[in-house]
Amino acid sequence: MAVLAMRDALNQALREEMKRDESVFLLGEDIGLYDGSFKVTRGLMKEFGEKRVLDTPIAEEIIIGTAIGAAMSGLRPVAEMMTVNFIMVAMDQVVNAAAHIRYMFGGGTKVPLVIRTPGGGGHQLGAQHSHSHENWFAHVPGLKVVAPGTPADAKGMLKSAIRDDNPVMFIENEGTYAVKGEVPDGDHLVALDKNEVKRAGEHITICAHSRMLIVAMDAATELEKEGISAEVVDMRALRPLDMAPVIESVKKTSRLITVEEGWRSYGVGSEIASRVYEEAFDYLDAPVARIGAAEVPAPYNKRLEKIAFPGKADVIVTARALLGKN
Amino acid sequence: MASVQMPRLSDSMETGKILRWLKKEGEEVKKGEPLVEIESDKANIEVEAYASGKLSKIVVPEGESAPIGAVIAEIGDGTSAPAAEKTPARQGQADAAAPKQAAQPAVEPKQGAQPAAADAPKPQATKPEAHVAQADKAVAATAQAAADAGGEQYPHGGPDDRTEVGAAGQAALNVIRRPAEQENGERQRVSPVARRLAEEHGVDLRRVQGSGPGGRITKEDVEAAAQQKTQPQAAAAPTREAHQPTARPTGEVEVVELSKLQTTVAMRLAQSAFSAPHFYVTSEIAMDDAVRLRQMFNEAVDKAEAISLNDLVVKAVALALTKFPEVNASWADGRIERKRDINIGIAVGLPDRLIVPVLRNADQKSLKDIAKESKQLIERARSNKASAQDYLGNTFSISNLGMYDVDQFTAIINPPDSGILAIGAIEDKPVVKDGQIVPGKRMRVTLSVDHRVFYGVTAAQFLQEVKRLLQSPMALVL
């Protein structure tokens, strides 16, 4: 067990899988010579050579298209999109091709593809570089979508994603690459379809994934000081969406907050809330509270940006309000 | 004193190199004047001063680099302007750290990015990778420092520095704090889990005070009520409201506006009381057999089909009315209208209003149907879902306060009826039977009569018939 930053845990997963399986290769913008925009692929070109770590042109549709072709031909590509905002030009490849091919060929071919890409904002990078779009992909049958929030899960889920025979959207976050945590050595695998309670509590349930998991955990720590015991459920598995731990938790706490970095409307929280209304309506003590980004393109202005993205204060105040303690 | 920090000049910039200071140490500088030329990863840019004053200290000399946010110079004018106000970055955390920054520029102990400044690489040779390597190192240093600072995700301040709720959280709060909708008769707010638990524990939600947002009854409220619950033996209970303590007026007089419904009720009752000459006839009825019959009946049917004593009274009154068309009648402008249909109004008292839903053709309905229908009627009335039809066509009414331990009372006739029967509680009392004193169950009923429509003898005979039916209740189930 070593303490690693998220970027190094991801790096370890890539290295281990590339060593284990020769068919695994990486492609993306600046991932080789430059070691990746966020240094996730650091040293891998040096170690595995230019055939297995491909620096591509700035052409997202071609990156994904190439990866799909390679996957259909028996390789296991891991494509990097510099940020999830840039994948828009490749949506046809992701949805119409990657997600549907296995179905349209009656299972005759498969697409074992991983697309790694970070979402998230808060760094004053403006509206075209700051959004979180995991819900767009989680809407599509044929894709798996995961968004880990700890280095251990990042490693374990990336390894599982690479071994999965389906296209997996592996959502990272620009704000978590430096976050450190204990990471099991060696063949540490985490299932792509299991969410889990990261912190046990009694009074209120908080669902969050990716960087918002950290925000939720911080908020829970603060709330504890006020005598509010919050249970935090990590929603790292977004599609298929594992609701079991949420339902179980809501049956205990009767109150739920969902937190996501993307917009509320049609968001991850909307889906979670619907499922809870379907499966645990009679256990609710209050409407499900959804926290997400303000419904505007992410502002560049620092002060505006600061209030546009969810922070722990939002979670804390919402928790108090749900419990009638405000 | 204001500190000048390394600005962010491009999205991808991590560090900037000082190419040239355009002012010397000790020179005066005006806000908006070019101060320093900086090389970012994309361009060389002249940066203006954000404050006026003397350039008291150059922290990062020409040719050296510093990460974004690091202090590169100090501008002082002798006064102590707070640094955070003047600098473009780090408003979030600067306040507390500002004096320290001024004292020991370039080393900001709490700032994530700072260690990189100390280790900032000297300008390197002209290898093409030089810039890349430098940026990389800065990223790594920033990451390292950020992690050391407890996983700080925004070295330069971000949403998590806020202590106030942001636009992000406000939307969720707006939903939670939305005030209760204004509805006629105030629908009670009950959370789903509270409703389910109330059913499980047999808690009457009308007796529970909500503690949640907007007065919503929550899980805890029901659990507390379930613990305190003492199930009172209600005699006949289609309507039983716990007394909700009303807040005492704070001023000398508190004015209570009437709802539309209350206004109508007030008008009609006044009209009835002051235009219909009332007289009253009281009788005591032995309810032993009726109570026993109800027990037997309820043991034989599903819980959902259980009947109340009130249902027995409704049926008895309806059957009696078939024999007394003169009672099932109205005063209509100097004439009397006798009605074919027998429709019984059942008075339901709610904390803020009185309503009288109408059970139609009660004489033709079985006890089971009367029980079922009156339950539905009362529930609809309570939850404000009743249609106008539910309140129309009464020919005779019943008002029951037995469950509130009232021995007897007189009711005001509910227009256009000419009679209303007021029901008291069933009491266990000693009665004389065959010369012996034995325990018996007795109920007092009082008939109010519109003297214009029928008279004392008819009233007494009608009451006798009701009494006969309730004392030989088998007739009610036939």
Residue B451 among the catalytic residues: yes
**Inter-chain contact A215–B12, Cβ cutoff 8 Å?**
no
- The angle that helices B288-300 and B309-323 make with each other, rounded to 10 degrees, is 120
A276, A158: one domain: no
Please indicate, yes or no, if residue A225 is contained in any of the structural domains. yes
Residues B147 and A180: beta-carbon distance below 8 Å: yes
Contact between chains at B216 and A286 (C-beta distance less than 8 A) = yes
The gap from C-alpha A40 to its chain's centroid, in whole angstroms, comes to 15
Nearest to B169 among A214, A295, A317 (CB): A317
> Do A200 and A179 have their domain in common?
no
Domains: count for chain A: 2
The CATH code of the domain that includes B200 is 4.10.320.10
pLDDT value at residue B113: 38
A189 is a domain residue: no
Alpha-carbon gap: A104 to the closest alpha carbon of chain B (Å)? 41
Residue B233: per-residue pLDDT: 35
B217 & B93 share domain = no
DSSP state of B62: T
Nearest to A180 among B147, B167, B175 (CB): B147
Q: Return d(Cα B172, Cα A310) in angstroms, integer.
A: 11
Q: Given a cut of 60, is residue A289 above it in pLDDT?
A: yes
When CB atoms are compared, the residue of A179, A282, A290 closest to B147 is A179
**Smallest CA–CA distance from A4 into chain B, residue:** B147
Alpha carbon distance, N-terminus to C-terminus of chain B: 99
Instruction: Give the CATH number, domain containing residue B139.
Output: 2.40.50.100
Q: What angle do CA B49, B52, B55 make, to 5 degrees?
A: 75
Give residue-wise pLDDT tens across range B175-224.
777 665 544 445 678 899 998 888 888 888 888 888 887 778 888 889 88
**Which phi-psi region, left, alpha or beta, contains residue B90 (left: φ > 0; alpha: ψ -120 to 50)?**
left
Question: Do A201 and A172 fall within a single domain?
Answer: no
CB B93 within 8 A of CB B111: yes
Question: Residue A183 in contact with residue A4, Cβ under 8 Å?
Answer: yes
Query: Number of A:B CB contacts under 8 A?
Result: 174
- Reported residue count of chain A is 326
Domain assignment of residue B178, yes or no: no
8 Å CB contact of A317 and B177: no
- In B366-385, the residues whose Cβ lies within 8 Å of chain A are none
| Distance in Å from the first CA to the final CA of chain A | 42
CATH classification of the domain holding B405? 3.30.559.10
Backbone angles phi, psi at B313, to 5 degrees: -65, -45
| Residues in B touching A177 (Cβ below 8 Å) | 143
Same domain, A207 and A124: no
Q: Tell me if B6 sits within 8 A of B15, measured CB to CB.
A: yes
CATH number of residue A251's parent domain: 3.40.50.920
Chain B (8-27) residues lying within 8 Å, Cβ to Cβ, of chain A: 8, 11-12
Query: Are residues A150 and A254 located together in one domain of the fold?
Result: no
In a shared domain, residues B302 and B377: yes
Q: Are residues A26 and A48 in the same domain?
A: yes
- Map tokens 């790694």 to a residue: A116
Does residue B323 share a domain with residue B386? yes
Complex-level ipTM: 0.71
- Specify if A191 maps to a domain: no
**Tokens at residue B399, please?**
């008002």
For residue B167, give the nearest of A124, A175, A307 by CB distance. Answer: A307
The pair of structure tokens assigned to B455 is 């008279």
- Tell me the two tokens of residue B374: 């009156």
- Asked whether residue B186 is assigned to any structural domain, the reply reads no
- B125 min Cα distance to partner chain A (Å): 18
Specify the pLDDT at position B182.
46
Side-by-side strand order, sheet with A237-239: A53-55, A24-28, A76-80, A114-119, A168-173, A144-146, A237-239
Residue B424 lies in a domain: yes
Helix, strand, or coil here: A119?
strand
Does A233 lie in the same domain as A128? no
| pTM (2 d.p.) | 0.54
Residue B238 lies in a domain: no
B255 in a structural domain: no
A289, part of any domain: yes
Pick from A281, A278, A292, A317: nearest CA to A132: A292
Q: Do residues B293 and B402 both lie within one domain?
A: yes
Whether the pLDDT of residue A169 is over 70: the answer is: yes
A8 and A150 co-located in one domain: yes
Check CB contact of B400 with chain A, cutoff 8 Å.
no
> What is the pLDDT at residue B156?
52
Range of the domain at A268: 196-322
pLDDT given for residue A111 in this prediction? 97
Nearest to A214 among B139, B151, B161 (CB): B151
Domain that holds residue B223: 192-228
A133 flagged as catalytic: no
Kindly state whether residue B244 falls inside one of the protein's structural domains: no
Instruction: Identify whether residues B131 and B82 lie together within a single domain.
Output: yes
Q: Which helix (H) or strand (E) holds A160?
A: helix A151-163
Task: Mark whether A105 and A157 lie in a shared domain.
Answer: yes
Please tell me whether residues B79 and B198 are part of one structural domain.
no
- C-alpha triplet A227, A228, A233: angle, nearest 5°: 145
Tokens encoding B47: 């940066």
Q: Is residue A190 part of a domain?
A: no
Q: Of A183, A212, A234, which residue is a domain's last?
A: A183
How many whole angstroms separate alpha carbon B255 and alpha carbon B303?
45
Q: Are residues B210 and B305 in the same domain?
A: no
Q: What does the DSSP assignment read for B137-188?
A: HHHHHHHHHHHHTTS-S-TT--GGG--S--HHHHHHHHHHTPPPPP-TT-PP
**Residues B292 and B213 placed together within one structural domain of the fold:** no
pLDDT of chain B along its 478 residues, tens only? Answer: 788 988 887 766 778 889 899 999 988 898 888 899 888 766 778 888 888 888 989 999 998 888 888 899 998 855 544 444 333 443 334 333 334 333 333 333 343 333 333 344 444 444 444 444 444 444 444 444 444 444 445 555 677 778 888 887 888 888 777 665 544 445 678 899 998 888 888 888 888 888 887 778 888 889 888 877 543 333 334 445 566 677 788 788 888 887 777 787 888 889 899 999 999 999 999 999 999 999 888 888 888 888 999 999 999 999 999 999 999 999 988 899 999 999 999 998 877 778 888 999 999 999 989 999 998 888 888 777 777 778 888 999 999 998 888 999 999 999 999 999 999 999 999 999 888 899 999 999 999 999 999 999 999 999 999 999 999 998 888 7
- Whether residue A219 is predicted with pLDDT greater than 80 in this model: the reply is yes
Alpha-carbon gap, residue A86 to A116, rounded angstroms: 12
Query: Is A262 domain-assigned?
Result: yes
Asked if residue B245 is part of any domain, the answer here is no
Whether A188 is in a domain gets the answer: no
Among B176, B206, B228, which residue terminates a domain? B228
Q: Which of B228, B246, B277 is the last residue of a domain?
A: B228
Test B154 with A122 for CB contact under 8 angstroms. Answer: yes
Answer yes or no: do A177 and A200 share one domain: no
pLDDT at B178: 67
Last residue of a domain, one of A183, A206, A224: A183
Q: Which of A183, A217, A232 is the last residue of a domain?
A: A183
Which chain B residues are Cβ-neighbours of A311 within 8 angstroms? 158-162, 166, 168-169
Q: Which residue in A has a C-alpha nearest to residue B164's C-alpha?
A: A313
Residues A18-76 pLDDT 10s: 999 999 999 999 999 999 999 999 999 999 999 999 999 999 999 999 999 999 999 99
Contacts of B152 in chain A (CB under 8 A): 178
A325 in contact with chain B, both atoms CB, cutoff 8 A: no
Q: Looking at the structure, do residues B103 and B43 belong to the same domain, yes or no? A: yes
How many other CB atoms are there within 10 angstroms of residue B389's CB atom? 10
Record: contact A303-B91, CB cut-off 8 A: yes
Q: Does residue B166 fall inside a structural domain?
A: no
Residue with tokens 């990336």: A158
Residues B152, B159 contacting (CB under 8 angstroms) = no
What's the CA gap between A315 and B46, in Å, rounded?
41
The verdict on a CB contact (< 8 Å) between B154 and A291 is no
The total number of structural domains in chain B stands at 3
Report the pLDDT value the prediction gives residue A196, as an integer from 0 to 100. 97
In this structure, are A64 and A176 located in the same domain? yes
Domain for residue A122, yes or no?
yes
The residues facing B348 across adjacent strands are B355
Tell me, yes or no, whether A61 and A141 share the same domain.
Answer: yes
| Measured CA distances, B234 to B239, B300, B404, B422 (Å) | 10, 20, 8, 16
Output the domain CATH number for residue A88.
3.40.50.970
Same domain, B400 and B287: yes
